Chain A
């Protein structure tokens, strides 16, 4: 029943005509063939070699891919083009295709190649078409080979499940450099003869205006984007053109799934899978319960003794693969996802090994020992607890926490994509090991719970025997400003008294129970982000603490606290 074009013979099989759209023009098969011929002419490649392919434009990327296949080479597809990624790849590939972008094609060769056009090589099903990379649990990127047979088998499973909407243009927020994007915005459309956009879009405003350009479209996206949909756009204008929305890379929140489905009046189809396995299960969420994931056609699922998901399918190189995700089966081939069991985590749909983050940050001469963790605040993010080296401590003292963080981030960004960089840092003299010598995750987690701010920032203090003078900066984040008063925050009087007593006891060393207040005067209000002085004097014989908040504006408040 499959009407898919074989990727191994795609150039011969695909009819003439438009195959893709850039931001403002169409790309025909002839345009693409010209680029394939260019790459065929300039690449000094030989059969059996691996070449790295990175390009932001999907049509150009495709031309490189097709040229490599014609040359009998495997395309290595890195997830990004950061220097460290390139360095690592350099050891594994013959070269980088884009290094030959500026090469000129000799005229006679160009003519020769023109003649050859339309007479493309068909590759064998077991030819290793792609090599993709993903974070392994050790941190070193793991290479995964995909043959045409594997790719065709995965695409056939998708096509069996969702054979509709071949006319819809594929619009996407994901890059084809990642396997999910490669399959859903490029290879599956290719095999279906479906047109795709060559650019990756970021903002929902872009998606809206791109959608308006086509009679019908499909959106290939991720929870990162679908969870941040701009609802103030008049989506009803574009909704009739939207056939379906695909989401993968991480589970989509039910709330986000339902919202996007409602705005675009289209099914939001979620895919579960991995680079190793390709797509293996799907779901479309609905109210009111969590919808279970279902195996794709041709995929068999089972579990290990520790509830790890086991996949068996033709699209896998070894037929079976054990995932690192725990699952709970609710019926044959239907399951709910649990947590991962290794140190790999997903941040905004991107896989990262926490062990690798720790290893890389410990390379820095500023860091002695580091522990990376995932915290969930407004967004899920990487956080880091670190013991500093002597130089690290000096840097912290000299430049401050922010500059130190910046230096460390600079080092890390050679290795990790920006969204994977730690956003919160704690520098400690000693990791919070427990009595068993273990580092409990919850004690690391608590280090990132923001403390409610209840005290002023002490800029300076002078203490003599019975007197103290404190210079206090009043932070705007003080919890006492909350609701006191809405839009017009001032420091409550009772807080001033409380601070006076607290610092009095701390600095002037007296004991005694609070008894009463005397001659309390509140003369001028204290605003956020101002600096005030607090003068304290303890009268031992009377058991009274007198206090005075003052600034260059004069006295804000004064009084006496009597102790018994």
Chain B
């Protein structure tokens, strides 16, 4: 697990006030919503805000695109890396 992945997991657990879950319990390429971690639409809004606050990431106004970025920890890491590169 890379540092960025770990950082995102910690951010998610903290931001969403999740209980009974450790960073190690979250699988990098598992879906965050519904199956997998089982997050809901409100969690998605919160993650969006946290990404903005912590990494200065603005979501592109295209829900399809956002859905892809929010698919898993790995996808979020790619999003953060790509914005850093700019």
Question: What is A's interface to B at a CB cutoff of 8 Å?
Answer: 199, 201-206, 208-210, 224-225, 228, 230, 232-233, 348, 377-379, 401-402, 405-406, 409, 413, 417-419, 421, 423-425
- Identify B52's interface contact among A199, A230, A405, CB under 8 A: A230
Distance of A512 Cα from B40 Cα, bound (Å)? 54
Question: Which chain B residues numbered 41 to 86 have a C-beta less than 8 Å away from chain A?
Answer: 41-42, 44-46, 48-49, 52, 58-63, 66
Distance of A417 Cα from B41 Cα, bound (Å)? 10
Distance of A402 Cα from B38 Cα, bound (Å)? 12
Chain A residues closer than 8 Å to B63, beta-carbon distance: 199, 201-203, 206
Chain B residues closer than 8 Å to A419, beta-carbon distance: 40-42
Chain A residues closer than 8 Å to B48, beta-carbon distance: 203-205, 230
Contact yes or no, A423 B45, CB < 8 A: no
Chain A residues closer than 8 Å to B61, beta-carbon distance: 203, 205-206, 208-210
For residue B34, CB closer than 8 A to chain A, the reply is yes
Contact yes or no, A203 B17, CB < 8 A: no
Chain B residues closer than 8 Å to A424, beta-carbon distance: 19
Contact yes or no, A377 B52, CB < 8 A: no
Identify 12 new A-B residue pairs, CB closer than 8 A, beyond the known A228-B45, A418-B38, A425-B20: A202-B41, A203-B44, A203-B48, A203-B63, A204-B48, A205-B48, A208-B61, A377-B17, A379-B42, A417-B40, A418-B39, A423-B19
Distance of A34 Cα from B24 Cα, bound (Å)? 53
What is the interface residue range for chain B against chain A? 20 to 34
Chain A residues closer than 8 Å to B40, beta-carbon distance: 417-419, 421
Contact yes or no, A230 B19, CB < 8 A: no
Chain A residues closer than 8 Å to B62, beta-carbon distance: 206
- Measured CB to CB, the nearest residue on chain A to B64 is A23
For residue B21, CB closer than 8 A to chain A, the reply is yes
Chain B residues closer than 8 Å to A421, beta-carbon distance: 38, 40
Contact yes or no, B58 A224, CB < 8 A: no
Contact status of A228 and B46, CB under 8 A, knowing A402-B20, A405-B20: yes
Question: What is B's interface to A at a CB cutoff of 8 Å?
Answer: 16-21, 25, 33-34, 38-42, 44-46, 48-49, 52, 58-63, 66
Contact yes or no, A406 B41, CB < 8 A: no
- Measured CB to CB, the nearest residue on chain B to A425 is B20
The interface centre, meaning the residue of B42, B58, B63 with most chain A CB atoms within 10 A of its CB, is B42
A85 to chain B: closest CB distance in Å? 16
- The 3 A-B pairs of least Cβ separation, nearest first, read A209-B61, A418-B40, A378-B17
The interface centre, meaning the residue of B45, B46, B48, B52 with most chain A CB atoms within 10 A of its CB, is B45
Contact yes or no, A203 B20, CB < 8 A: no
Chain B residues closer than 8 Å to A379, beta-carbon distance: 17, 42
- Measured CB to CB, the nearest residue on chain B to A210 is B61
Distance of A419 Cα from B63 Cα, bound (Å)? 19
Chain A residues closer than 8 Å to B60, beta-carbon distance: 205
B50 to chain A: closest CB distance in Å? 11
Enumerate 11 A-B pairs (CB-CB under 8 Å) in ascending A order: A202-B41, A202-B44, A202-B45, A203-B61, A205-B58, A228-B42, A348-B42, A378-B17, A406-B38, A418-B39, A423-B18
A449 to chain B: closest CB distance in Å? 12
Distance of A31 Cα from B7 Cα, bound (Å)? 49
B35 to chain A: closest CB distance in Å? 9
Distance of A132 Cα from B38 Cα, bound (Å)? 28
- Identify A418's interface contact among B18, B21, B41, CB under 8 A: B41
Chain B residues closer than 8 Å to A405, beta-carbon distance: 20
Contact status of A409 and B38, CB under 8 A, knowing A202-B63, A203-B48: yes
B31 to chain A: closest CB distance in Å? 13
A37 to chain B: closest CB distance in Å? 30
Contact yes or no, B25 A203, CB < 8 A: no
Distance of A377 Cα from B17 Cα, bound (Å)? 8
Distance of A199 Cα from B59 Cα, bound (Å)? 18
Contact status of A418 and B34, CB under 8 A, knowing A203-B63, A210-B61: yes
Distance of A425 Cα from B18 Cα, bound (Å)? 11
Chain A residues closer than 8 Å to B41, beta-carbon distance: 202, 418-419
Chain B residues closer than 8 Å to A201, beta-carbon distance: 63
Chain A residues closer than 8 Å to B18, beta-carbon distance: 423
Chain A residues closer than 8 Å to B17, beta-carbon distance: 377-379
Chain B residues closer than 8 Å to A209, beta-carbon distance: 61
Contact yes or no, A203 B42, CB < 8 A: no
Contact yes or no, B49 A401, CB < 8 A: no
Chain B residues closer than 8 Å to A418, beta-carbon distance: 33-34, 38-41
Distance of A402 Cα from B20 Cα, bound (Å)? 6
Distance of A248 Cα from B60 Cα, bound (Å)? 27
Chain B residues closer than 8 Å to A205, beta-carbon distance: 48, 58-61, 66
Contact yes or no, B25 A402, CB < 8 A: yes
Chain A residues closer than 8 Å to B25, beta-carbon distance: 402
- Measured CB to CB, the nearest residue on chain B to A381 is B17
Chain B residues closer than 8 Å to A425, beta-carbon distance: 20
B36 to chain A: closest CB distance in Å? 10
A563 to chain B: closest CB distance in Å? 38
Contact status of A203 and B58, CB under 8 A, knowing A379-B17, A406-B38, A418-B40: no
Chain B residues closer than 8 Å to A203, beta-carbon distance: 44-45, 48, 59, 61, 63, 66
Chain B residues closer than 8 Å to A401, beta-carbon distance: 20
Chain A residues closer than 8 Å to B33, beta-carbon distance: 418
Distance of A418 Cα from B25 Cα, bound (Å)? 20
- Measured CB to CB, the nearest residue on chain B to A224 is B42
- Measured CB to CB, the nearest residue on chain B to A211 is B61
Chain A residues closer than 8 Å to B42, beta-carbon distance: 224, 228, 348, 379, 419
